[in-house]
Amino acid sequence: MQERLNQNLLEAIERIEKARIAVDRKRIVQLVAVSKYSSKEEIAALYACGQRAFGENKVQDLQQKSSALEKLPLEWHFIGSLQSNKINTLLHLNPYLLQSLHSLELAQALQLRLERENKHLNALMQVNSAKEESKSGFMPEVALEAYARIQEECKNIKLCGLMSIGAHTDDKVVIQRSFEMTWNLFSQIKGAEILSMGMSGDFELAIACGSNCVRLGSVLFK
């Protein structure tokens, strides 16, 4: 298993580097391994291959896997839609980064808990650049205003940038347009560091459009 995962990781890194060098030799692109369909044994094996950042989209799964692998210095990212009744559980897990801050209501609920427990949380604001009903996130038209408001009102949340999911279509032009829209917003935010765009099916296009963090699952754990 480890040999297979190592080969998958090397191939993914090679593709990321090729896409990165084609547009910006100075940019560093982080790889987050999406482990939502993977076992703790597979995560440990990929860790042994050199991967450190892993992403989960369900709080319960993150709780179970982080507990089972607590001896490994893994960098856990939460990438799913966070329900308000799971906030306390997530905060007790101390994730490295919440990539999916999708509403003002969620930001305010997080702030209440964080303030009460004297904690801070790194987060990315999720933008629904594809404007699809099936996706969470702020609409592009209100994203900059919302970002500034969260920064102003939610002092215990440290916004580090933006996250978006590419349009759900086979039309690369439409996917590219959604990525470019997110990049345009990101470029207007002073101090924003992380632009998380790109999954297994579209990460090279996302990198071409400015992404510096990709979330890959199936290409790593196939």
The string of pLDDT tens digits covering residues 38-56 is 999 999 999 999 999 999 9
pTM for the whole thing? 0.96
Tell me the average pLDDT of the chain.
Answer: 97
- Burial classification of residue 149, based on how many CB atoms lie within 10 Å of its CB (0-12 exposed, 13-18 middle, 19 or more buried): middle
- What is the spatial distance between Cα 201 and Cα 204, in angstroms, rounded to a whole number? 8
* Residue 49, token pair as written in the block: 């291959």
Instruction: List all residues 6 or more positions away from 145 whose beta carbon is below 8 Å from its beta carbon.
Output: none
H/E run at residue 148: helix 140-153
Say if CB 74 and CB 54 are below 8 A apart.
Answer: yes
pLDDT beyond 90 at 107: yes
In sequence order, what E strands does 27-184 have? 30-34, 53-56, 75-78, 97-101, 121-126, 157-163
| DSSP secondary structure, 132-143, as one string | -TTS-SB-HHHH
Share of the chain above pLDDT 90, in %: 97
* Residue 219, token pair as written in the block: 């290409």
How many angstroms separate the first and last alpha carbons of the chain?
10
Average pLDDT of 80-99?
Answer: 96
DSSP state of 53: E
Q: Report residue 68's pLDDT band, with 50, 70 and 90 as the boundaries.
A: very high
* Residue 86, token pair as written in the block: 């799971």
Q: 78 pairs with which residues across the strands?
A: 56, 98
pLDDT beyond 90 at 134: no
User: For residue 145, what pLDDT is reported?
Assistant: 98
pLDDT beyond 90 at 142: yes
Average pLDDT of 75-79?
Answer: 98
- Burial classification of residue 60, based on how many CB atoms lie within 10 Å of its CB (0-12 exposed, 13-18 middle, 19 or more buried): exposed
pLDDT beyond 90 at 81: yes
Q: Which fold has domain 2-221?
A: TIM Barrel (3.20.20)
Which among 18, 12, 17, 3 is positioned nearest to 218, based on CA atoms? Answer: 12
| DSSP secondary structure, 9-34, as one string | HHHHHHHHHHHHHHH-TT---EEEEE
Q: Is the dihedral of CA 112, 118, 120, 121 positive or negative?
A: negative
